[in-house]
Structure 1
């Protein structure tokens, strides 16, 4: 996370809305990306961030339509797949939006191949 993103994230978590979300509700990786890449007025930080946010939302809508017909699909798995498709695979030894101390095995479990996008 870049310094300006960190400052924005801290500012958000100290806000009323951030405190409401942090009161027991888990924030997903897609939601965290959107929170940290928007200005106070709600507009994207950069045009590139705006494009990525739109791609993430479009993919999320596609996957939710599929998930509604298949009960075996978990929304958290969908978020991970969407991030891998839009932003590329995770770099070795780290998980996006989880800080430098979390590795794939800690986040995804012992079958750390889960975080790799499917080859099909």
Structure 2
């Protein structure tokens, strides 16, 4: 018999993925290869992705709103679910042990909702965005 995660763990993961900002944090953390990541650049990337603007335009009130919501709400919740590790004193983020599972779920959802674009997984685009940041 195959092992499957308990239903409550699956529901918790889906709860974490209900918020777009959390999904983008997971995609940004999953795309980068040199943890830990300071929160401010992650918040800028999330702002840019939310607004579909270049990183240089991810500033001002919108960026501040995203940054504050990440540090006050989203990052602690993602850390509680072991999707990331978060050091609130140093404002650093790193992948958590459950991040690969979340990325698989996000990729499956992407393929289900965008079947004609399944090969165009946004992680590559996000990775390119991260690497192009000065």
TM-score (norm 2): 0.25
User: Greater helix percent: which structure?
Assistant: 2
TM-score (norm 1): 0.27
